Structure 1
């Protein structure tokens, strides 16, 4: 994979009290500018991995590095980490707590001790990025589920992190809400934010990500999304099915309609475009 490692776990081990090890000797990197999808069955360790990367959990062994520097788990070190890496949990109600959207989004920057003018600028920027400027004064308890999701992400974006980690961000959203969120994430990526997404949706991962990490009982396998999600053995071990785009690409190749060196479709629209020349 291209790009330098922004955040990395080196020889990391972790297990919960009175439980078996979740990870042992784990080496894992989030590389700059690469959209990364984390995939695996429930209980595979996706949430644990995200919390280790964001500092919510501390590895029992090994180390976490940011920009090549080892993270120190004191106040100064964790503050520096959380201005670089932000985690947005799956349920926005676990993250929102302020009376209004604007107040909630401003919480992180205020805690950094930034001047009021800087806080206001960050809030305005984040609300605009998530397309919820009109909701700034809306009470959070009156928001729709999709609006709450966007508000939670805006709160993380206001910290201006280099890495944004999202736990199942499209879960519970209707198709239009999913498309709008993906467009927003594209905008954040274009602005220089590296995005990591945990998801069960292999079709979404194939469409959206550059790289994938499959969490299996034998360890974490990471690579380019198109190659990794074509490995039926790894998908089976991770409790996942073959993405439809990979299956469609295989169908086209065996019938001579797509060259072996050509990438298969990642979206229905790409498949329709490929099919256009064969239509009578």
Structure 2
């Protein structure tokens, strides 16, 4: 698989003037005795962004996330951290993992300690931090994920949504600049999804960059600034509303059109939404537009 950017000269996951925190350059990877999963991929993530990684099953999303976090080593190309190539030795990987943290899809693959607090404290303790610093980080992480009340709860007694947030708290306690999550909303009911998105909002407000792999195009349109779409033709990156309005790209990646994009096209076709007006990305956006239109507001 090769990488393709949008028509902008710069990788669209990197805002103009912002340097990437973590970046894959010409990256390729194949599992043993298998064909290449990724080939020639360029993917950069800048500080403070929310990036949705989309693609069909088997497109290489999980592999790409593991390459970014150092869980897998590039078979070709390189991984850069703050512009410098990552060395896959103890020192290099420790530096990478204090900057970039990966949360896997199944929390049971990540949680292992007897209680939530013990699990969240594992990473900071492994860094050799003073006890008081570890306690501070655990408290901050539990507060960020709104699970302070679960600190002493055995992990095996948590609900699925609670286990998801506990796993994320363990990554947050490392104070990463980039938090990478593989399908974090998978298996959650609507209430659980909202609680998780609220927690991610708090993390973004504190300056954490978030990269999320998801199949949910509506979630991506609602939540992300930027999108990265893995398709047979390559990796495309750019503003989320722009990429998810590209019917050819969506067809190539076997993704459906987001509801917000579909609604905007219907409104424009009927002359109710100006061609250059932003499309609704959330139900609240559409409700606000309907309210303004109902009281005599002009199409906008």
Q: What is the TM-score with the length of structure 2 in the denominator?
A: 0.92
1:1-280 paired onto structure 2 within 5 Å: 1=12, 2=15, 3-279=18-294
- Quick one: distance in 2 between partners of 1:87 and 1:22? 19
- Quick one: distance in 2 between partners of 1:219 and 1:278? 41
Aligned-pair CA distance for 1:184:
0.8
Secondary structure class of the residue paired with 2:27: strand
- Quick one: distance in 1 between partners of 2:206 and 2:45? 17
Aligned-pair CA distance for 1:278:
3.4
Deviations 1:183-216 (A, max 9, x none): 1101101101000000000000000000000100
Q: Considering only aligned residues, what root-mean-square deviation do their CA atoms show, in Å?
A: 0.9
Name stretches of at least 5 consecutive residues in structure 1 with no aligned partner.
none
Secondary structure class of the residue paired with 2:68: helix
- Quick one: distance in 1 between partners of 2:115 and 2:250? 42
- Quick one: distance in 1 between partners of 2:135 and 2:213? 30
Aligned-pair CA distance for 1:273:
1.2
* Alignment: residue pair count: 280
Secondary structure class of the residue paired with 1:180: helix
- Quick one: distance in 1 between partners of 2:243 and 2:61? 17
Aligned-pair CA distance for 1:45:
0.1
Deviations 1:114-173 (A, max 9, x none): 011100100011001100001100000110111100100000000000000011111111
Secondary structure class of the residue paired with 1:108: helix
Q: What is the TM-score with the length of structure 1 in the denominator?
A: 0.98
Aligned-pair CA distance for 1:268:
1.3
Name stretches of at least 5 consecutive residues in structure 2 with no aligned partner.
1-11, 296-300
Secondary structure class of the residue paired with 2:251: helix
Deviations 1:232-278 (A, max 9, x none): 11011111100000010111112111111111101112111111133
- Quick one: distance in 2 between partners of 1:111 and 1:246? 46
